[in-house]
Chains A and B, each alone.
Chain A
Amino acid sequence: MWEITQGLLGGFGAALKPLYFFYALAGTILGTITGVLPGLGPLGAMAILLSFTLKMDATAAMILFAGIYYGAMYGGSTTSILLNIPGEAASVVTCIDGYQMAQKGRAGAALAVAAVGSFIAGTISILGLTVVALYLSDIALRFGPAEFLAIGVCGLMFLIRMTGGSLLQSLIMTLIGMALGTVGIDFLTGAERFTYGINELGQGIEFLPVAMGIFGIAEVLLSVQGKEVPKTAQKVSLRELLPTRNEWKRAVPPMFRGSVMGFFMGLVPGPSPIISTFVSYFTEKRLSKHPEEFGHGAIEAVAGPESANNAAVGGAYVPLFALGIPFTPAMAMVLGALMLHGLTPGPNLMKEKADLFWIVIASMYIGNFMLIILNLPLVNVFVNILRVPQRILMPVIVLLCLIGVYSVNASLLDLLLLAIFGLIGYVLRQAGFQVAPLILALVIGPMIETSLRQALKITGGDLAEVVFRPICLSLYVATLLCFAVPLILKWTKRGKG
């Protein structure tokens, strides 16, 4: 407990320094803007800004990304409520009842509930992150290659299961990501793999051009293929932002339920912020005294999911900080930013660079506070961002991607890879493939290979000894259950039918 208090105090001391405070502010504002703009979610924004973080120190980069992630979750709700346009995927559920509330003249109340819910959820999840990450990192210090192999495999398998869409397609994407991760010089033997005489490929396929191509360029291509529709939103005055006593009474319990639920869902690999909103919505509908109001402007349906998606963000940081393994694509971006600064997250980093962890945690608190202070009064300003024409916004995004990728290594090959992965991302997403597993597998794949080879070397090639260790076995069983239980349930239902 003393360690937490001391760490937090130190973190706040540093996070309130003007530079870090500025990055927290910039992150929340940028995040809100990207959340408001349909199509450009937190992933796209992080991908575009990844190269910008090079000139910052690692702590500043983490603070900026945390702000973007939180801000995007909040910004997405604004357009969902006012325009029925989800700024990003985790706000789709808010559209259902949030927009209905706006139609009934309660847009201000919906926005205020979403903001307060996000704040409560953010605070609860940061508390959870603080405690769970510290505890987990202590345990993780005793992990060997076999355990890290099991965590990596389990993480990828859960991701395939939870991503949604076809299992086969997600498996193919994961394998392709892992295959791309094998390109370059083999770290153990020094042998070149799949470089085909291109010297630059010796360092491997960089994460940045792949992520920016698949999420940045492909997103632009998907946005431009449709026709631009002019958007008009209703104005919300400050007076309208105050919910009634009855609305508060109905909204507060879902906020807390959504926060706890969201945090734990954030610990699970996969698009946890999105899944948590659906789980929260259906839980609230089941628990509500007025389930018939759901779909027609129930305030619980805004409070619960909006809290859940923000809490899931904090939860998603736990495996990254404690184990060094990203379980969501956004966390892969955060990992990418850390790696650009020569840092590898994990239990050792939490011990050796504890100050970074505490400053980021403190900035998350500050960022959450900024969101509620800034975003409610400025809601009309953020909605006006939607008026920026796509024909100007999209070329700017493409140019930022191009120059951003070039600025890291000054490599023309990286630029070419950006274009290639932009096309690949566009084609795959058009065909209904989920590309998130590809990105995560590209990051986790090399770690899995390293752990497998190290573990087998230690055990003299005995695979059983690698698999049948207590922690590993539990994780493999959990993975098997994750695939088997839905199948068994399906067969049982079929049998009954």
Chain B
Amino acid sequence: MFISLALFGFSLFYFLSSLHLKMGTPRNMGPGFVPAMLGGLLLASTAFHLIRVYRGRPPEQETKPSPRENLNYWAVAGILACTAAYPLILETVKFVASTFIVGFAMLLLWKPRKPFFSFLIALGMALGCFFLFSRFFGVALPSGFFERLLFRIGA
């Protein structure tokens, strides 16, 4: 139900936003013509989906979601948080530190009882990724003093 509502909300938002764009004519379509058409179709189909779910009749042949018992939602939420946090800290604490922090946090989520082991693995991952991407692939990563030092050592 929540997903159907969210999809309907997105469709409504998209459709209404598309109405602000110039439509044009069939011969000379404006930037809003196709989005409005898509938005209309999307709105109709998500509304239909919402009605079916609301009536308690799941769409035909719908794949059954996996049983939710014993699922590790903490790990899921933690990984998502780490993924979302990475862009926020990357520019501030630079590449190696941010990669280490995110890696360490994720490893702790899986195996909280082995912090030292996780620390070493995370450090290895951060340094490994730095050398792989900056030296091997030549990617310009956000660098501070530590990264520049490492780069020199690697050279």
Chain A interface (Cβ within 8 Å of chain B)? 52, 54-55, 164-169, 171-172, 175-176, 178-179, 182, 186, 188-189, 191, 193-194, 217, 220-221, 224-227, 390-392, 394-396, 398-400, 402-403, 406-407, 410, 412, 415-416, 418-419, 422-423, 426-428, 430-434, 449, 452-453, 456-457, 460-461, 463
Contacts and interface: CB of A to CB of B under 8 A. Distances in A.
B3 A427 contact: yes
A217 B86 CA distance: 13
B133 A403 contact: yes
B26 interface: yes
A55 B137 contact: yes
Interface majority SS (helix, strand, loop, mixed), chain B: helix
A175 B90 contact: no
30 contacts: A52-B137, A164-B61, A166-B58, A166-B60, A166-B63, A169-B59, A171-B45, A172-B7, A175-B45, A176-B10, A179-B14, A182-B34, A224-B75, A224-B110, A227-B70, A392-B107, A392-B121, A394-B79, A394-B106, A395-B106, A398-B106, A400-B129, A403-B133, A406-B90, A419-B80, A430-B65, A431-B65, A432-B63, A456-B26, A461-B25
Contacts, number: 182
Contact of A175 (B3, B41, B79, B82): B41
B27 interface: yes
Given A55-B137, A189-B22, A395-B103, A453 B34 contact: yes
B149 interface: no
Contacts of B71: 225-226
B30 interface: yes
Contacts of A419: 80, 83-84, 86-87
A340 to B, nearest CB: 13
Given A193-B21, A432-B62, A403 B80 contact: no
Nearest to B136: A55
Interface majority SS (helix, strand, loop, mixed), chain A: helix
Nearest to B21: A193
Nearest to A402: B86
A168 B79 contact: no
Given A226-B72, A415-B87, A456-B29, A179 B38 contact: yes
